Amino acid sequence: MIASEAEARAYCAAHLDAGRMRMLGDLVEMLRIENEQQNLVARSSLDEAWRRHIADSLQLIEHVPRETSDWLDFGSGGGFPGLVIAIACPQRAVVLIESRRLRAQWLERAVAQLGLANVSVVAARAESLPPQPAGIISARAFAPLGKLLRLCARFSTPKTIWVLPKGRSAGHELQEQPVIIQRMFHVEHSLTDAQAGILVGQGVPDLS
């Protein structure tokens, strides 16, 4: 369990080289500055940004095959998990989907300042986008599970991996779904919060 900022940094350093760690540090500082202009994350979480946002996002890579690309992150907001994934995995094409104009603009500035060539930002609602197959779909604090699946199912294929950080509601949200959806997903324990979970699944959700 990652219980402190020092442990969060150590966890990230075990996965990334020094250059990528510097980029994550830059992202944290950019987040602190931008959060004064718009509420990207809870102000109280900034003192634990490495644990609450960076390591919390980075842990998702442990649940997806290394070779899988075409990562769609819905409701990217302050950049989590999408920007962290893009920094950690430069070989992956990452699309950050964010409907709120100011947040989408922040993401575009962050991508430019960090020099991330593998990232694109789409300033639109998920329901307005044309379908495109995704290798991986993620969404953090985007929508309740049922709504999330309805909005995002058309971007999935039988091989698509879903990694959905759901905090402390993970098990409850999954239990509220039809049995066929419950069988599609399982709950992985978060490394940054003993009571939080990540829903991991594969395929196209049967919403009939």
What domains appear along the chain, each with residue ranges and CATH number? 5-202 (3.40.50.150)
Average pLDDT of span 25-44:
96
pLDDT band at 68 (very low <50, low <70, confident <90, very high): confident
Kindly tell me if the per-residue pLDDT of 191 is higher than 90.
Answer: yes
pLDDT band at 177 (very low <50, low <70, confident <90, very high): very high
Contacts of 178 (CB under 8 A, 6+ apart): none
Mean confidence (pLDDT) of the chain: 96
CA distances from 30 to 25, 36, 40, 112, 140 (A): 9, 10, 11, 12, 20
Q: 150-177 as b/e, with b when 16 or more CB fall inside 10 Å?
A: ebbbebbeeebbbbbbbeeebeebbeeb
**pLDDT of 141:** 86
**pLDDT of 66:** 87
**pLDDT of 64:** 97
**pLDDT of 208:** 83
**Contact between 119 and 111 (Cβ < 8 Å):** yes
Q: pLDDT tens, 100-146?
A: 999 999 999 999 999 999 999 999 999 999 999 999 999 998 999 99
**pLDDT of 16:** 98
Kindly tell me if the per-residue pLDDT of 42 is higher than 90.
Answer: yes
What strands lie across the sheet with 136-139, from one edge to the other? 119-122, 94-97, 71-74, 136-139, 161-167, 197-202, 185-189
**What is the pTM (predicted TM-score) of this model?**
0.96
**pLDDT of 157:** 97
Find, among 62, 45, 54, the residue nearest to 87 by Cα. 54
